[in-house]
Amino acid sequence: MNILIMGVAGAGKGTMAERIKEHYNIPHISSGEMFREAIRQETPLGKLAKQYIDHGLLVPDDVTITMVKERLAKPDCTNGYLLDGFPRTMIQTGAFEKAMDDLDKKLDIVINLNVDFEVLEERITGRRLCKDCGAIYNIHNHKPKIEGVCDICGGELYQRSDDTTNQLRIRLTEYEHLTKPVIDFYIGKGDVIQIDASQPVEDVWNDLKKALEALNG
Ligand code: AMP
């Protein structure tokens, strides 16, 4: 199954993506995570992306499109993929649709996670990630057993430099301008399932699973 998951930062895309990936055994392709990896590796792409990400801005379309297109062409995407964080602009959407045609693939479904601002703010400012395995925690409602240490692998937890209220506001404005048209485009095609992502994680996952099962069955 080829799935696209959408939602503003903090909507829980990363958490739901992990579950979908396990459930359907498909690769999780996150453009944000690809950029963060490039930043960690200090590659030319990483250095460029960092200048935008640190200011809560989108990385330019051409760079982003090339990076994701190359990833989608890899053999592990043959039996499906879960795309997260891309396409985020209409230019990226046009390039993505064309790339899918060229690869003779079709997007099956778009999941849109909807969430209230207050919930978002708590999630964003409380979010901590493991440097080593990428596990996600929250200092308000999903604390690690030992502060600053990953329960799973013992790795050090860190806060993303763009996870602040100020950056959240910038990202939301940008989302409204650039990404909402993408969602509207897929709504127009009848491909979107809407999920209330303000709920606790297990409830969001149950709704999501039900919607995906209804699609398959
Ligand atoms: P995310 O992990 O999806 O929240 O992405 C983190 C940051 O990476 C974003 O705020 C952008 O700066 C950048 N980014 C991720 N995906 C894209 C994309 N599709 N287009 C442009 N910038 C992106």
Show the 3-state SS of 130-153.
ECCCCCEEECCCECCCCCCECCCC
Distance 32 CA to ligand 1 centre (A): 4
Q: Which domains does the chain have, with CATH numbers?
A: 2-115+163-216 (3.40.50.300), 127-162 (no CATH)
- Reported as a pLDDT band with limits 50, 70 and 90, residue 33 is very high
Torsion of CA 78, 83, 86, 92, to 10 degrees: 30
Per-residue pLDDT at 217: 64
Q: Which helix (H) or strand (E) holds 158?
A: strand 157-158
Beta bridge partners of 2: 81
For ligand 1, atom 11: residue with the closest CA: 58
Beta bridge partners of 89: none
| Segment among 55-59, 153-157, 173-177, 196-200 with least mean pLDDT | 55-59
Q: Which ligand 1 atom minimizes the distance to the CA of 52?
A: 12
Number of Cβ within 10 Å of residue 44's Cβ equals: 8
When pLDDT is averaged across residues 171-189 and rounded to a whole number, the result is 93
Q: How far is the CA of 217 from the centre of ligand 1 (A)?
A: 33
pLDDT confidence of residue 162: 83
86 confidence band (pLDDT: 50, 70, 90): very high
pLDDT per position as a tens digit, 120-145: 999 899 999 999 999 999 999 899 99
Known catalytic residues are 13, 88, 127, 160, 171
Q: How many CB atoms lie within 10 A of CB 24?
A: 15
pLDDT score for 45: 95
Residue 88 Cα: closest atom of ligand 1: 19
